[in-house]
Amino acid sequence: MRHLKEGSYVEVVSLPDDTKVRGIMIPCSDKKMLILKQDSGYNVGLDKKKIKEVKVLKKNKAEIKVVGSRKIKHNKKLPVVSVLQVGGTIVSKIDYSSGGVIAKMDASEFVNMIPEVGGVVNLRYRKIADIMSEDVRFGHYNLIAKEILKEIKKGVKGVIVTHGTDTLHFTSAALGFILGGVGVPVLLIGAQRSGDRGSSDGVMNLVCATHFIVKSDFKGVGVCMHKNLDDDACVILPGVKCRKMHTSRRDAFKAVNAEVIAEVSRDGVVRIISRWNNEKAAKDVKLFKEGLKVGILRAHTNLFPENVSCFKDYKGLILEGTGLGHFPARSYDASSRINEKIGEEIKKLVDDGCVICLSSQCVFGRVNMNVYTPQRELVEMGVIGCEDMTTETAFVKLAWLLSNFKSEEARNMMTQNLRGEISERSEVEGDFL
């Protein structure tokens, strides 16, 4: 098969039953396998030892080239919005002659991809990182914040950050705490569907984010993602009060225990829904300590003391409890007696200086540590209730506090509303999904 070239459209006949598969040959690191991108768009791997025959139906005449950067003409009369690439799929593209991703878009390609905003704003595009969102660490929060501040000093109208969706809400919360009442809008966007699919959502998220920055007076950190499954509008969500609620739907992100800030139609109509009060500027920028150990432990049935004691070297821990704020630490019979040991391990961590806070797995609603006796016992151990913060925001907030304040100060500040992360009251009526 040495004569075969990647990008050729072939028909492969495989043993033992002469199965025929057609597709474009794409690169494969395993020399024993042949990978084809089928007409359906899905890839299939074939064992070369079992291949009986390969027919080349169409040779690959295309050459894969990396496009060089070109200067973008700016209209001096229009405001400037900076787009910082951290990750996500919006800047990748597929070369269908080879079936593989061939290049990252340069700035001019990126702007040409969204002609809808050409007469509204000048886009300044820059890559600052290229990382899958599940691999993000505290150091990346610091990097993104510093680069945002660089853009703000240049006098931009706002900043858009492209980010993978899986931990986008962690990063939006982190930037909210680092930047405080930043004087311009900072919006994180992502894409649930890759750019080579007809259902891709990244471009519209970018278009709507741009319109919102130019046409609103919002200041602070937010998230711009699809409102629903259609391509008619996006919503602007508070960066410290939102969460990814679905693995693949385009409208996966929802506001949690808060209203959305605005809706933005694809043609640029902005409808403000709630006034987000996050304009109090921080005196100075406080970053994360990159080596700080803060953990999350989810409550479940049949926990063991070792599930808690393994955090003995950590400075902070979020217990994601059940319901109003429960965590197994009490015995009721012989089978549950081991739960007392769990309580003892929690108390040990607190006594050793670990700041422990408790959120709820329910996502929506509020933790109340005063309703049941077991909850009050947790409070007596030194566990702090997280009010109506999501687990992710509570985790980020605790890590940020411990990075910049002494443990006792951090304990006291966890229940203070610093960036709009804690609502004054919890709404129990209305649709929450």
Sign of CA dihedral 32, 37, 41, 44: negative
Q: Strand pairing partners for 281?
A: 180
Nearest to 86 by CA among 7, 159, 27, 15: 159
Q: What is the rounded CA–CA span in Å between residue 210 and residue 29?
A: 39
Please give the structure tokens belonging to residue 431: 């649709």
What string of DSSP letters covers 265-327? ETTS-EEE--------B-SS-----TT--EEEEE--TT--HHHHHTTTT-SEEEEEEBTTTB-
What span, in angstroms and rounded, lies between the C-alpha atoms of 352 and 427?
Answer: 37
Q: Which helix (H) or strand (E) holds 158?
A: strand 158-162
22 vs 99: CA distance, rounded Å: 13
Can you state the angle between helices 168-179 and 391-404, rounded to 10 degrees? 40
Contact 426, 388 (CB under 8 A): yes
- Give the Cα separation of 213 and 221 in Å (integer): 11
| Helices and strands (DSSP H and E) totals, the chain | 9, 21
Which residues does the annotation mark as catalytic? 89, 165-166, 244
3-state DSSP call for residue 135?
helix
Distances (CA, A) of 97 to 17, 37, 56, 62: 29, 10, 14, 6
CB-based contacts of 221, cutoff 8 Å, min separation 6: 172, 175, 176, 179, 182, 186, 187, 188, 239, 240, 278
